[in-house]
Amino acid sequence: MKAVVVHAAGDVRVDERPDPQPGPGEVLLAMEWGGICGSDISYFRHGSTGTAVLRHPLVLGHEVAGRVAAVGAGVDGIAEGDAATVHPATVVGDPHLPDRIAGRTNLHPCVRYFGSAAFDPHTDGGFSQYRVVRADQIRLLPDGVGTEHGAVAEPLGVALHAVHRAGDVRSRTVLVNGAGPIGSLVVAAAKHRGAAAVVAADVAAPALAVAAAMGADSTVDLTTSSLPEDVEVVIEASGAPAALGPVLRATARGGTLVQVGNLPGSAVSAVLGDLVTREITWVGSYRFVDEIDDALLAMRDGLDVSPVITHRFPLTRAAEALEVAADRGTGSSKVLIDLGAGTTTP
């Protein structure tokens, strides 16, 4: 089979790998679509993401969907031909968590994730024609949700988790700073969860157009305007340290700021005084627990992720797909790789 493998910074190849076979309790997926995430781009550009450093060749990709090609012994409720996506996380070691974070498996200290170099050996991802996964990681797609949209369930789960971290957003105004793929999906998630109005802000006009198509009631071009003031709920999705001061200032006194944009792991300079004087509740949001299930239900119930998908590339052009996803000047939002027939063009 063919697989998209990063060997080093700037070195992504379509390699031949042995065809896998499912063992007991496992399922073989014939992959159809994979969505490029910021971590895939970081491995491609830098050979690392956060504290995870590439030591060996790694199959990229954790936003994937396909169809069941074979089922291992002891697997019930899953049949050949079923359309499915994958929950890409595996807790390593003792699954017990302290009572204060019981059930929040995304906060377990050791989690293997598809397409991650955090452990050695690394955990290969799903940008391949076939991938064996544990049956408990399979999430069958509801009727009406195809595999292309199924590949967006993972980042939509991230967005829904971020909105959940903000508390009840019903009948409230939500500001989303950063209208990249996650930010635009946060817009849709906030609307889905009942927000009265959602404002999206970004420096790129194409990103704001995507956010508007995903349901933003208004947009702010930060090259010509400032963030609005006194917004009760703010979700920071850019991950830009320079944004921290302005988003704190935009948050209303006593309001809530959710940080879902991935901040650098090194020291940064930011103006944080408003955090104290405005008594802002500032919370982090990391991946998700089981909100990938909520994402599938939301899409079943009409949440349309089509506008966030801007480019599609065949598997043989994976490196080009990564280049486009990494360059905001291309107008890209979510870039998909056709992992199946490989005949799709942008």
Assign 267 a pLDDT band (cuts: 50, 70, 90). confident
Quote the pLDDT of residue 301.
98
pLDDT tens column, 133-188: 999 999 999 999 999 999 999 999 999 999 999 999 999 999 999 999 999 999 99
**Distance between CA atoms of 39 and 262, rounded to whole angstroms?**
10
Characterize 151-166 residue by residue with b for buried, 16 or more Cβ atoms within 10 angstroms of its Cβ, and e for exposed.
bbbbbbbbbbbbbbbb
CATH 3.90.180.10 domain residues, the chain: 2-152+305-338
pLDDT confidence bin for 36, thresholds 50/70/90 = very high
Check residue 268 and give its pLDDT: 87
CA 70 to chain centre: 27
| Cα gap 48→278, rounded to integer Å | 37
pLDDT at residue 254, rounded to an integer:
98
Instruction: Tell me what pLDDT residue 266 has.
Output: 82
Task: Tell me what pLDDT residue 346 has.
Answer: 32
Q: What is the pTM of this model?
A: 0.96
Q: What is the mean pLDDT of residues 2-14?
A: 98
Instruction: Report pLDDT digits (tens) over 314-326.
Output: 999 999 999 999 9
At the fourth CATH level, the homologous superfamily of domain 2-152+305-338 is Medium-chain alcohol dehydrogenases, catalytic domain (3.90.180.10)
Q: What confidence score (pLDDT) does residue 282 get?
A: 97
Architecture of domain 159-284: 3-Layer(aba) Sandwich (3.40)
Calpha distance 29→126 (Å, rounded): 9
Closest by CA to 67, choosing from 322, 342, 339, 308, is 339
The residue behind tokens 């003792």 is: 94
What is the tens place of the pLDDT at every residue in 217-261?
999 999 999 999 999 999 999 999 999 999 999 999 999 999 999
- DSSP E strands: which ranges in the chain? 2-8, 11-16, 26-35, 48-49, 52-53, 58-59, 63-71, 83-86, 89-91, 111-113, 130-134, 138-140, 173-177, 197-202, 218-221, 231-236, 251-259, 281-284, 309-314, 334-338
Per-residue model confidence as pLDDT tens digits over 277-290: 999 999 999 999 99
Q: In the chain, list all ranges with CATH 3.40.50.720.
A: 159-284
Residue pair 238/178 in contact (Cβ under 8 Å)? The answer is yes
